[in-house]
Structure 1
Amino acid sequence: MNEQAPGWYPDPAGENQQRYWDGDSWTEYYRPLLPSQTEPSGPQSAYEDYPYLESVTHRRPDVMVTPGTPGGWQSSSAWGTPDEGRESGGTKVFGSGVRSTPGGVAAVASLVVLALLLVTGITWWALSGSREPDTPGPTSGPTGGSGSVTTGTVALGEETPAQVGAGGVWEGALSVDEPVVLIVDVRSDTGAEDLEMTVEDAAGNQVTAGDDRGRELAEELDGSSLDPLVAVSLEAGEYTVVVSELDGFASEFSVRTTEVADQVAMREPTRAAVPSGGYWAGSIELPDAGEYVVDVEDSSSGDPVLLTLDADGRVRGNDDRDPDNEDRNPLLESDFPAGTLVVIVTEWSGDATDVTVTVSES
């Protein structure tokens, strides 16, 4: 080996590379072993050069193999033979064969459907934008909303039947001869409609408004929780009670006004008689906003329930101050705004009872 001329020779440690002999020893220089002759490469040698194609091409029709090549993909008899492609000026045009494959047919069909949907949508949009409606649509409420105004008269201390048309309002004239605190109770005949109420002065300014009375007032004073109920302090003058239905439905209802005649003085106990199946109401003017205590003590064996309506229209209540110790007298301690506070007392079983009501600063 020492007599061999320097040069590139097959690496004695491997058959796929060459190693350089410097005339005395093997160096660390290598290079790939080059073929001794050029071998033909093409369709005829594809499966010898790339054996993996035989398994791939039989399951993937998108691998391009020259037609007629042994082992090339053939379509199943269920789908027919793929097109060879069209000749156009000597250039092979691919794509015609794709439409004959299962995936190609689905793709073409999807494109056709998408195009039809697009054309239909554009046509509908163009026509709907320019077409005038045959009949006018609803303007208010489920039946179109007539916007009608029905009028009536509200009498103090009485119940007034009334009705509101779909999408309309009812206006009841209320005349007050002297300052008074009123509970205005509006109830729908069915309890299913959602009524709203406002009280306006002669100039059309809103004095108070009410929507839902809520669960507590509905349980103690009856009516639906959707029926409005307000307590309001009015000076002498002319007023209008306006009632509408929130969703625009027609409704028949009643308006009942109850004067709160009893006055409660700060820190002074007030005797009150709760009638059977009814309630007692008294009012007090709170000089400042702050925390106050409303204390109700039963003088017999009754079970009174306490509710308050403040100047902001909020409802607060208490049933038993200490039910664990069988103390059924209600006690309410809460923040109230300045203004008229209406105190309402009922009896849990609907029985008549006598109570003492005391309001004081906390």
Structure 2
Amino acid sequence: MVTKEAGWYPDPQGLSQVRFWDGDGWTDYTQPFAPEEVVRPGPATALADYPYLAGADLRSASGPRTVSTWTPAPVAAPAGVAAGRQRSGLLWWLVGAGVVVVVIIAVAINALIDGDPATGGGGGADPAPSSTASLEPFAPGDAPSGTVPAGGSLTTVLEVEQDGDYLVGATGSSDTLDVEMTITPTGEPEALPFPSDRGYQLSDLLGGSWSDPGYWVWLPAGSYDLVLTERRGEQVDVELQADAAPEVIPVEAGVPANVSIGADSAAVLRVSTDAPVSAVVDVRGEDEDLDGHLSYLSGDRVAAVDDRGPTLAETVGGTEYDPYLELDLEAGVSYLVLEDLYEPTPSFSVSVTFG
């Protein structure tokens, strides 16, 4: 059980805001993180920035002003020094010009030797090793393996023959390694929305590590460029995944859906919209003992929400442990993952309302 004094704390839903804890539970009161005060240099900070001017006369003047901390006059060079410097400068100029000529001749000779087959030259130094590897194209149902170079990328092409819901991802060879995945329709400029990390909750359901990419995505028939990029400077062995997901449950706005979840699993909900829209997802358990949990895609990360709290329960209904989510949906298909934190075979009613 969480025990701490009432006050403002980082939002447990992972949003960029703080939420008020009343000592017993989270309330509906939120506010953005307080911005850090930035002190910009200016008249108010002049003396702090330049302390040596504290005793100087800083009044405006029409001409140059001598500051007490400056040397009042240049020191005159002894007689004969200037001429000596001129002769010394000419000498060093001649030496430098000679060095440049020697370097140019050496580079030219080396280029001729490297480019001449008769002398064994190979046309120059070997190119730097590539930081990009590639795999042969694959289809859903396959599970190809490959290696992502340290700080580099692994590329391949996913060939989809049929429109549908697909679970796409990659599993790294170690829990401490980290790669991100982009999925871009071949020939298109923009990648599809996809998380860089599947998060802890989905790693419990899908396996792998929290930092492995993986989520559901709607793919019309066609080709998709998949790029996996390593983010920690370590070589990563990965296994790719692209499986059809026939158990996805479509939920239409304004039409409640009854969702039953099998033992030790979760339900994947599909919500479609033709245009960007704000939406409310209201999940209610069939009895008060259920404690639902929703995971959803927010930008390039997986976020989660579980309890609506007592205030919303009194306002909109349901129990304080039922999930309640307000979010902005982009045009197209969005996916939410519903599970119960404790019961093995729960049932829920799910309603989606567009604002």
TM bucket (normalised to shorter chain) is 0.5 to 0.7
Quote how far apart the aligned CAs of 1:178 are: 2.3
Quote how far apart the aligned CAs of 1:350 are: 7.0
Structure 2 residue 289 is matched with structure 1 residue 289: no
- Alignment partner of 1:164 out of 144, 148, 156: 148
Q: Which residue of 1 aligns with 2:262?
A: 275
**Larger RCO of the pair (alpha carbons < 8 Å, separation 6+):** 2
Structure 2 residue 163 is matched with structure 1 residue 179: yes
Whole-Å Cα distance in 1 between the matches of residues 212 and 220 of structure 2?
25
Q: Which residue of 2 aligns with 1:127?
A: none
- Alignment partner of 2:218 out of 209, 215, 233: 233
Structure 2 residue 321 is matched with structure 1 residue 328: yes
Asked if the contact 2:255/2:351 (under 8 Å) is kept, the reply is: yes
Asked if the contact 1:154/1:255 (under 8 Å) is kept, the reply is: no
Residues 1:347 and 1:155: Cα distance change in structure 2 (over 3 Å): farther
Name the structure with the higher strand share. 1
Q: Which residue of 2 aligns with 1:349?
A: 342
Asked if the contact 2:195/2:302 (under 8 Å) is kept, the reply is: no
Q: What is the root-mean-square deviation of aligned Cα atoms in Å?
A: 3.4
Residues 1:157 and 1:265: Cα distance change in structure 2 (over 3 Å): farther
Structure 2 residue 294 is matched with structure 1 residue 306: yes
Structure 1 gaps of 5+ residues are 1-129, 131-135, 140-144
Quote how far apart the aligned CAs of 1:293 are: 0.8
Number of matched residues? 223
Whole-Å Cα distance in 2 between the matches of residues 200 and 335 of structure 1?
22
Whole-Å Cα distance in 2 between the matches of residues 154 and 210 of structure 1?
21
Structure 2 gaps of 5+ residues are 1-102, 104-124, 314-318
Asked if the contact 1:221/1:278 (under 8 Å) is kept, the reply is: no
Instruction: Give the TM-score taking structure 2 as reference length.
Output: 0.53
Q: Which residue of 2 aligns with 1:84?
A: none
Structure 2 residue 333 is matched with structure 1 residue 340: yes
What is the percent sequence identity of the aligned residues?
25
Which moves more between the two structures, 145-154 or 174-183?
Answer: 145-154
Aligned letter for 1:309? L
Per-residue displacement from partner, 1:121-167 (whole Å, max 9, x unpaired)? xxxxxxxxx9xxxxx9xx7xxxxx64242314544256544332334
Larger Rg: 1
Which moves more between the two structures, 337-346 or 312-321?
Answer: 312-321
Asked if the contact 1:152/1:162 (under 8 Å) is kept, the reply is: no
Per-residue displacement from partner, 1:321-344 (whole Å, max 9, x unpaired)? 236986322111223333321111
Per-residue displacement from partner, 1:252-291 (whole Å, max 9, x unpaired)? 2222234444321111122223233332112121233232
Asked if the contact 2:197/2:302 (under 8 Å) is kept, the reply is: no
Aligned letter for 2:294? L
Asked if the contact 1:185/1:229 (under 8 Å) is kept, the reply is: yes
Aligned letter for 1:186? A
Asked if the contact 1:307/1:343 (under 8 Å) is kept, the reply is: yes
Instruction: Give the TM-score taking structure 1 as reference length.
Output: 0.52
Per-residue displacement from partner, 1:85-128 (whole Å, max 9, x unpaired)? xxxxxxxxxxxxxxxxxxxxxxxxxxxxxxxxxxxxxxxxxxxx
Alignment of 1:122-161 (within 5 A): 146-157=130-141, 159-161=143-145
